[in-house]
Chain A
Amino acid sequence: MMSKSLRGIDLVHLTIDDIRRIFTVDDRGFLEEMAHAARELTRRQFGRTISLFAPLYIANYCENECVYCGFHASQKGMPRSKLTMEQIDKECAALAATGNRSVLILTGESRFHSSPQYIRDAVRIASRYFSYVALEVYPLEEDEYRELYLAGVDGVTLYQETYDRARYDELHLAGPKKVYDYRISTPDRIARSGIRHITLGALLGLTDWRKDVVALFEHVRSLERKYPGVEFGLAFPRLRRVADDIHQYQEVSDRDMLKIITAARLFFPRVGISMSTRELPQFRDRIIEFGVTKMSAGSSTRVGGYLEGEKKYEDGQFEVFDPRSFDEVKAMLRSRGFDPVVTDWRNIVNS
């Protein structure tokens, strides 16, 4: 039986058992204490700065059947496309023209349509426009990651989606992603390849977030010990509730999110925490105080979206809930006493 009291928990030396307790007990006063401690620690470790980045979808073909995702393979109404190198160049130029210097390239998970060579060529182009190039693509082999690293990849983002193996099997109906073990061993392959930043996360709400977040923390802590030279990052995307929910997704409230982010900061003092444009502006603007170090700004989740400009489409991977431009987000950060950091990296491998 879990103790219902959080007394005796030392926020400076949190253990994973403390975090389990914190997640199961609802204590408003304690959450307030956590928020103070997390804010103080974030300022000490990262200062009053937030790094900005934007996603760049170069393709949206997918071979997987993830029941919760708008990009899944059998989604008939979804127009599929893939940019040519020339289009990627123009798309990078359009995004860079907004002032952004940090990009996250996404492809959807199709090795057939978006081969490692295709990704590598895209990375080489992006490296000319951005000081930091990260990838969110299907899991690869170590030597493939190595090649991408040498082509200019600074970071990789990968979501395990859920650490509950049975639930994972239930939600991933078909495709290469169905193999849980291959996905969960991917961070090890990335770390061994030389790539320096790895951002991990679970899609909160697929199952009980408490279990997934604890499993994620344990995973990252063990990776930190194994690969001390890698900088790990965390992201906490959450599922939005859908009207006809036949998959029994679980709600993750704003209060839960605050608990998760403050716990992450206190447990991992140096880990970067990203906040996506999937969150509403009013939530994003408040949560940045408590541990967030990176946020996307001026995002389009549509293939070729930056060149096409402001038009409103319904076929992005997910809806962008924060429609503000890059400059508007920068202005918001300044008004809250944060220095928006545009350049926080310079590739030293391929330059």
Chain B
Amino acid sequence: MDDKLIVGGREFGSRFFLGTGKFGDKEAMRKAIVSSGSQLVTVALRRIDLDETDENILSFIPDGTTIMVNTSGARNAAEAVRIAHIAREAGYGDWIKIEVISDSRYLLPDNQETIKATRILSGEGFVVLPYMHPDLYVAKALVDAGAAAVMPLGSLIGSNQGLKMRTLIEVLIEEIVEVPIVVDAGIGRPSQAAEAMEMGADAVLANTAVADAEDPPLMAAAFARGVEAGRMAYLAKMGKERKEAAASSPLTGFLYDE
């Protein structure tokens, strides 16, 4: 089955993206990336220290994995842009996950500032994946601003609550056809990742649920399979859920009786 995901002109065989924060040790993180088969991981610029070579988080990321630096810590568009510039100058590439958060209690993204940062950075040639609160007008504005994907939150970061934003994300999936929709944040279980993919999301990004598991590599593999199963179900075009039982002989069959 040829079902590649294309983001920013790059092809991905896996639709599972992994965050690299919160792991109890970096070796477990490395194994989680490998066991999940994830080809795109996000790393906070604030966690990268090139002086400390034995500890440098980047040296635990397998070769061939696309690294998407995120702007964790940015409170407005200007700060996100500054972080992206530092990342590019330091040689971490052009892939940027924009996280603009000026609410330290709930970590909700600031959509307006996210649009601004997306416009500036995509204008400068970055591949920009903005993390956002699922709002149709904002998603359209992000596409106009040059986003390579739109990444709505499933629920609050780190909450493991799953798809609390389901209805709104469904609207984005239906209406935003220009770029992939990646469900980011709040996905606490493989079954929730599968649910997002069944809905038609193009990919899922998770971190906490994997890092927090007793066995992160095993959980990462479970997530990758959840994502795969959900994708296959979506492609297979599932039957709709019905409130009542549906007779397998159609009620209106008599109309067509010869």
Contact = CB atoms under 8 A, between A and B. Distances in A.
Interface of A: 43-49, 99, 101, 131, 196, 224, 228-232, 268-270, 334, 337-339, 341-346, 348, 351
A229 B102 contact: yes
A270 B48 contact: no
Contacts of A43: 22, 212
Interface of B: 21-26, 45-49, 51-52, 55, 73-75, 79, 82-83, 86, 102-107, 158-160, 208, 211-212
A72 B108 CA distance: 44
A264 to B, nearest CB: 14
A224 B104 CA distance: 8
Contact of B49 (A44, A338, A343): A343
B209 to A, nearest CB: 9
Q: Which 5 A-B pairs have the closest CB atoms?
A: A47-B22, A48-B24, A343-B49, A229-B102, A228-B103
Contact of B26 (A131, A228, A229, A339): A339
Contacts of A351: 86
Given A343-B52, A348-B83, 4 more contacts: A101-B49, A228-B105, A268-B105, A339-B23
Contacts of A270: 104-107
Of A46, A49, A269, A346, the most chain B CB neighbours within 10 A belong to: A346
Given A229-B103, A348-B82, A348-B86, A343 B48 contact: yes
Given A44-B158, A47-B22, A341 B47 contact: yes
A346 B45 contact: yes
Interface class of chain A by DSSP:
loop
A94 B102 CA distance: 35
Contact of B24 (A47, A228, A268, A269): A47
Contacts of B208: 44, 47
Contacts of B106: 270
A345 B105 contact: no
Nearest to B50: A343
Contacts of B79: 348
Contact of A346 (B46, B158, B212): B46
Contact of B52 (A99, A196, A231, A334): A99
A44 B212 contact: yes
Nearest to B19: A47
A213 to B, nearest CB: 19
B45 to A, nearest CB: 6
